[in-house]
């Protein structure tokens, strides 16, 4: 078991802004081949089952959400302005899509609608019951 696993002493870790997110940050400055290697190294080091969940949203909705965050004085996660911000988001989304080719990911299309959440909830339940081998 990895040092992280021993330290946490947990059965399940839900990681928002987890290791994949760190790899994405690094991937903004490297090639797809490099970041594919980084993800594989990460998995090998952790010696744990990793379920990848990709959350995506349209660029227009994304920009609106980020704008609202800034106005609400919450954390600013994207340090860029105007067109640069849009380009940066496109780059990140491109990397996310490439990760999907490398790994078998669950994808959540955030349309900010209630039924979308409900559909994803069903998907998660199905996934938890099968892939994570839950005995309900």
Partner 1 sequence: MAMETTGPTIIDVYGAPGSGKTTVSRMVSKKLADEGYKVDEHIFQVNNEYHPVNRIFIKGLTAVGYTLKNFAFIKEIFSLAQLHTFSSRKTAVKQ
* Position among 69, 86, 98, 119 found at the interface with partner 1 (CB under 8 A): 69
* Position among 28, 41, 87, 121 found at the interface with partner 1 (CB under 8 A): 121
Asked if 50 interacts with partner 1 (CB under 8 A), we say yes
In this structure, the number of other CB atoms found within 10 A of the CB of residue 54 comes to 16
CA-CA distance, 35 to 43, in Å (whole number)?
Answer: 12
Asked if 114 interacts with partner 1 (CB under 8 A), we say no
Burial of 79-115, coded b for 16+ CB within 10 Å and e otherwise, reads eeeeeebeeebeebbebbeebeeebebbebeeeeeee
Asked if 1 interacts with partner 1 (CB under 8 A), we say yes
CA-CA distance, 112 to 115, in Å (whole number)?
Answer: 9
Identify whether the C-beta of residue 80 lies closer than 8 Å to the C-beta of residue 135. Answer: no
Shortest Cβ distance from residue 108 to partner 1 (Å)?
A: 6
Torsion angles phi and psi, residue 68, rounded to 5: -65, -35
Binding mask 4-33 for partner 1 (x = CB under 8 A): xx-xxxxxxxxxxxxxxxx-x---------
* Position among 32, 52, 98, 119 found at the interface with partner 1 (CB under 8 A): 52
Number of residues that bind partner 1 (CB under 8 A): 60
Cα(first)–Cα(last) distance of the chain, in Å?
26
Q: Which residues bind partner 1 (CB under 8 A)?
A: 1-5, 7-22, 24, 46-57, 62-63, 65-66, 69, 77-78, 89, 92-93, 96, 99, 108, 110, 112, 117, 120-121, 124-125, 128, 132-136
């Amino acid at each position: 078991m990895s040092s992280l696993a021993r330290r946490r002493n947990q059965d399940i870790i839900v990681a928002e802004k987890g290791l994949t997110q760190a790899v994405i940050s690094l991937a903004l400055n490297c090639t797809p081949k490099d970041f594919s290697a980084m993800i594989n190294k990460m998995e090998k080091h952790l010696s744990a089952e990793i379920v990848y969940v990709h959350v995506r949203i349209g660029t227009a909705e994304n920009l609106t959400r980020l704008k609202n965050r800034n106005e609400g004085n919450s954390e600013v996660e994207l340090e860029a302005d105007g067109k640069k911000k849009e380009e940066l988001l496109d780059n990140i989304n491109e990397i996310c899509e490439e990760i999907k080719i490398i790994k078998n990911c669950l994808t959540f299309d955030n349309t900010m609608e209630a039924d979308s959440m409900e559909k994803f909830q069903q998907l998660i339940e199905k996934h938890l019951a099968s892939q994570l081998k839950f005995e309900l």
